Amino acid sequence: VVIDNKTGYVVGCVGGLGEKETSRGFNRATQAKRQTGSAIKPLAILAPGIDKKIFTASTTFVDEETDFNDGSDEPYHPTNYDGYLGEITVRRAVESSQNIPFVKMMEEITPKTSIKYLKKMGISTLTDKDENLALALGGLDIGMSPLETAAAYATIANDGKYIEPTFFTKIETSEGKTVLKSKQKKKNVFSKETAYIIKELLTEPVNGTYGTATYCKMKNMDVAAKTGTTNENYDRWLCGFTPYYSAATWFGFDINETINFNKRNPAGLIWSSIMDDIHEGLEGKRFEKPNKVISCTICKKSGKKATKYCIDTYEEYYLKGTEPTECTY
């Protein structure tokens, strides 16, 4: 599903591979409900956590094997796909999609708050069973459709404003009389300052050394993206946006099968190919930083405000009132 960020219009939608054999058949892009894996992290965790100033991009969490008390008889014991990194910033956790820090973030946000934000971004398939820590990693009772997922990502791209995805503007008779007009629901979910920080964070999987979506880069165009993979490689996702369009791609089977694709993400390859095509000839654009977003030089080791003694540093962005304390290393 491809959506125009500013209008909410669906400009591309493909609901299956192969030749079309039936009319009005099952459309996976709009009707399938699938587990999202890590593709949910920007929506369920980054959006509420940054908006409520619970953490910033430079807040550190310890990435290590952890048992979580989730109110059930057995502790919740998620794992990482590629090992553990120790104390890392939120930004680094986003880059290579480390799971443990995101579950720790969910503990601080609470699943209840996370669900409120997801619903405001148009996710309609959540149930009471989703109010648990597994929500952080996309472990959902029913799942999410590519259409609703794309619209939720478009909320970030559209500076925090949700627009209901729409397939038509109006229907007219042959005489030009309007018989039906689309009415889009619109809602401000979070500020443009919050949206910018999430956008900037989501460039890490694309541009970072350890990024999981480096194949999504475009020349002279900012790209934000997040991958998603479920257990046994049953579901593969790539969700993201540019200043022009948002898109969500899911790749999998109706009856679950493990996806082996030369150690690559087929959803990501489809996303990249289509987005490259539709951006051809468009003017290069960057994500615009709002004036109220504060920047600060950060020590990579501590995640704190850098001093003259800090060797490895980078520029980080903050909402007013969330600036870090000074590094003490």
Q: Is the dihedral of CA 136, 141, 146, 152 positive or negative?
A: negative
Q: Which residue has the tokens 């397939």?
A: 167
Looking at the chain, which runs of residues are DSSP E strands? 2-4, 10-12, 60-63, 86-89, 161-163, 170-172, 178-181, 186-188, 224-229, 235-241, 245-252, 294-299, 313-318
DSSP conformation class of 134: G
- Assess contact for 211 and 205: CB atoms under 8 A: yes
pLDDT at residue 22 greater than cutoff 90: no
- Assess contact for 102 and 201: CB atoms under 8 A: no
DSSP conformation class of 45: I
- Assess contact for 247 and 2: CB atoms under 8 A: yes
Distance of CA 251 to the CA centre of its chain: 16
Q: Which residue has the tokens 């939720």?
A: 152
- Assess contact for 271 and 242: CB atoms under 8 A: no
- Give the pLDDT confidence of 268-291 residue by residue, as tens digits: 999 999 999 999 999 999 999 999
- Give the pLDDT confidence of 190-238 residue by residue, as tens digits: 999 999 999 999 999 999 999 999 999 999 999 999 999 999 999 999 9
Helices 146-157 and 192-201, axial angle in degrees (round to 10) = 110
Q: Is 219 exposed, middle or buried (0-12, 13-18, 19+ CB in 10 A)?
A: exposed
Which of 239, 237, 203 is closest to 37 using CA atoms?
237
- Give the pLDDT confidence of 89-102 residue by residue, as tens digits: 999 999 999 999 99
Least confident of 94-98, 114-118, 157-161, 257-261: 257-261
pTM of the entire structure?
Answer: 0.96
The CA distances from residue 276 to 212, 272, 273, 279, in Å, are 18, 6, 5, 5
pLDDT at residue 329 greater than cutoff 80: no
